Amino acid sequence: MTTATQTSRIAQLPPAVKAVTLPALLIVVWQIWAMTLPETSPAPAPAKVVQSFIELTASGDLVWSTLQSLGRVLAGFCVALVLGLSLGVLMGASRAVRENLDPIIESFRPIAPMAILPIAILWFGTGTPAALTIVAYAAFFPLLVNTVYGVSRVDRQLVRAAQTMGVNRLRTIATVIVPAAVPSVLLGSRLAMGVAWTAIIAAELAVGAKSGGGTSGGIGQMMFVFYAYSIDLNGIVVCMIVVGVIALMIDRLFRVAEHRLLPWRN
Amino acid sequence: MVSLMETRTAKELAEVASESDVDRKAGARYPGSVRAQGRFWQARWFIVVRAFSVFIGIWYLVALWVASPIQMPSPFKVLEALIALGRTGELFDHALISATRLVISLVISTLIAVPLGFLMAMNREANAFIDPIVELLRPISGIAWIPLGLFIFGVGGTLPIFIMAYVAFFPLLLNTIDGVKSIDRKLMSAAETMGVSRSARLLHIAVPAALPSVMVGFRIAFASAWAAIIAAELIGSPSGLGFAIEWYRQLLMSPKVFAFIAMIGAIGYLCDLGLRTLQHKLTPWAEGMGIGQ
């Protein structure tokens, strides 16, 4: 009887209260647990994380590192965009190209971006170009696959209509096929930006780990320095939250773009 | 929802697309789509062999042109290294370590994510409480947990397992929720009307109905875990494939680096093939459900 009334009472709570309950509980338990530890313990605590966030923001380190990482992601993404789109349109439009390239593409796809890092370091050293390579490699596959899909899905009747009216092949690609592929390309871009952001963190972390905290910077490197040198776990948690927030923002940005550019799809 | 889009290959997607109604109406667009049977130069295996021969040929020429065995070893050197590593057993030792970690983490993740997914999909209250925390954690990639994980677990085998289990958790959970929510309510009500017990309804209706989506989630979970393990082992583990590639990079033994990378690709490809076959066997009815289901 009591349990029944209790559950109904819980059900009547406003959605916002329900949403906040568990995260709030988690933070409170975490803070209490941290307060039981001796003062010298490096364990992170919510209060210290907030303090660390304020300090890192005030000094400008956090903003600068984030911008550095974002810049690398954008540059790598642009490289992947150019390669993925051009190859994707070719593969989507021509069956011969698709059949011949597909085995090669598919054998590279299961190779994680991070597995390419040792090669990238051998080629470019432990600087920004190595990180860019990883990002471009990671972003390339979702862009390519979705472009191929978008292009091969184009309404054949439209292509035939264009051909009947004497439009040449190149112009058909530019005016019929590419616009029709835009929704898929946008989806591919969103997925690509997601993996690219993960890849840059991994690359910066690994470069930091392997070059002994070099000077290349970025938020991944910042995390590694906090781990290996200053043992600042609160700083690491701040970086993790920033990584999450940026990932969320990138995703939302592309979703908004999809809504704006393709209003008929909603 | 995590869609099939992420697991399908470009060719599969293109084929699904070209088999659409629009295309069928318009007739065969590609001259090659009506192909003569039995001509071996048009057979799938021949195209694959040819593509790889061209690829290896170009690789060989590039290696000749670069003329630096450290930066660009020739394909034959890599093959030699592959055979040598296979002989000493080192290749399989590291692969086995990574594969064991992968299996452990996927089992942990499945045991937590699938029941939780069922709970969240069937109980609105549970969903209202748990969903926010899932959505808070989800944008934080597994990679970002590596430094904190290193501190908690130290350098060793636990860190990769933790990172992979975390990474595999979200696609499994979301796809399970999605699968359970897609269950035909009428089937459930019909069974309830006929007095079928709750556990039997769960076992005979909900589980089979959700299975295709769970399988898709599992394939995505595997793919993301296999990508994450390389990063985790490269940074924080003294063994495994991710460790091996970076170790030989530091020793400037490039053919061995390439050999291990090939192994990473081969295992990833074979496992996905296996999972795909399992998916077709377990849920043959899901074939026609199309993309994005």
- How many CB pairs lie under 8 A apart between chains A and B? 217
> Is the Cβ–Cβ distance between B272 and A110 less than 8 Å?
yes
Specify the pLDDT at position A137: 94
Nearest to A247 among B52, B139, B250 (CB): B139
Mutate to test the interface with A, among B29, B224, B235, B250 (most CBs of A within 10 A): B235
Q: How many CA atoms lie within 13 A of A203 on its CB side?
A: 36
Specify the pLDDT at position B33: 43
CA distance linking residue A261 with residue B287, whole number of Å: 32
CA distance linking residue B119 with residue B124, whole number of Å: 9
Give this complex's ipTM: 0.85
Specify the pLDDT at position B68: 83
Q: Does A87 fall in a domain?
A: yes
pLDDT band at B196 (very low <50, low <70, confident <90, very high): confident
Q: Does B52 fall in a domain?
A: no
Nearest to A201 among B144, B230, B261 (CB): B144
Q: Does B26 fall in a domain?
A: no
Please report which helix (H) or strand (E) contains residue A37, including its range. none
Instruction: Give the C-alpha distances (Å, rounded to integers) separating A104 from A186, B50, B152.
Output: 24, 11, 40
The two tokens of residue B218 are 């599992």
Mutate to test the interface with B, among A13, A97, A145 (most CBs of B within 10 A): A145
Specify the pLDDT at position B3: 45
Radius of gyration of chain A (CA): 24
Look at chain A and report how many structural domains it folds into.
1
CA distance B85 to chain A (A): 18
Specify the pLDDT at position B184: 81
Of A90-104, A111-125, B7-21, B117-131, give the lowest mean pLDDT range.
Answer: B7-21
Contact residues on chain A for B48, CB-CB shorter than 8 A? 103
pLDDT over 90 percentage in chain A:
30
Q: CB within 8 A of B228, min separation 6: which ones?
A: A112, B142, B143, B160, B163, B164, B167
CA distance linking residue A243 with residue B115, whole number of Å: 29
* Cβ <8 Å between A114 and B242: yes
For B193, other C-beta atoms within 10 Å of its C-beta total 8
Specify the pLDDT at position A213: 47
> Is the Cβ–Cβ distance between A70 and A204 less than 8 Å?
no
pLDDT band at B202 (very low <50, low <70, confident <90, very high): confident
Specify the pLDDT at position B5: 45
Specify the pLDDT at position B9: 56
Q: Does B121 fall in a domain?
A: yes
pLDDT band at A250 (very low <50, low <70, confident <90, very high): very high
> Is the Cβ–Cβ distance between B73 and B56 less than 8 Å?
no
Look at chain B and report how many structural domains it folds into.
1
Q: Residue B211 pLDDT > 50, yes or no?
A: yes
Q: Residue B69 pLDDT > 90, yes or no?
A: no
Q: Residue B293 pLDDT > 60, yes or no?
A: no
Instruction: Give the C-alpha distances (Å, rounded to integers) separating B120 from A24, B47, B218.
Output: 20, 47, 18
Each residue's pLDDT tens digit, A204-232:
888 766 654 455 678 888 888 888 888 88
CA distance linking residue A222 with residue A220, whole number of Å: 5
Q: Does A213 fall in a domain?
A: yes
Specify the pLDDT at position A175: 84
Q: CB within 8 A of B265, min separation 6: which ones?
A: A107, A108, A110, A111, A115
Q: What's B189's domain CATH number?
A: 1.10.3720.10
Contact residues on chain B for A247, CB-CB shorter than 8 A? 139-141
Q: CB within 8 A of A24, min separation 6: which ones?
A: none
pLDDT over 70 percentage in chain B:
83
The length of chain B in residues reads: 293
Domain that holds residue A224: 55-265
Domain that holds residue B166: 4-9+73-289
Q: Residue B29 pLDDT > 70, yes or no?
A: no
Q: CB within 8 A of B271, min separation 6: which ones?
A: B222, B226
pLDDT band at A141 (very low <50, low <70, confident <90, very high): very high
The mean pLDDT value of chain B amounts to 82
Taking CA atoms, what residue in B is nearest to A219?
Answer: B144
Q: Does B60 fall in a domain?
A: no
Residue of A215, A10, A187 whose CA lies nearest to A131 = A215
SS3 B192: helix
Q: Which range scores top for mean pLDDT: A94-98, A194-198, B26-30, B278-282?
A: A194-198
CA distance linking residue A14 with residue A229, whole number of Å: 46
Q: What's A66's domain CATH number?
A: 1.10.3720.10
Nearest to A102 among B11, B18, B228 (CB): B11
CA distance B210 to chain A (A): 25
Specify the pLDDT at position B15: 53
Q: Does B116 fall in a domain?
A: yes
Specify the pLDDT at position B28: 37
- The single-letter code of the amino acid at B220 is I
Residue of B39, B121, B81, B119 whose CA lies nearest to B255 = B81
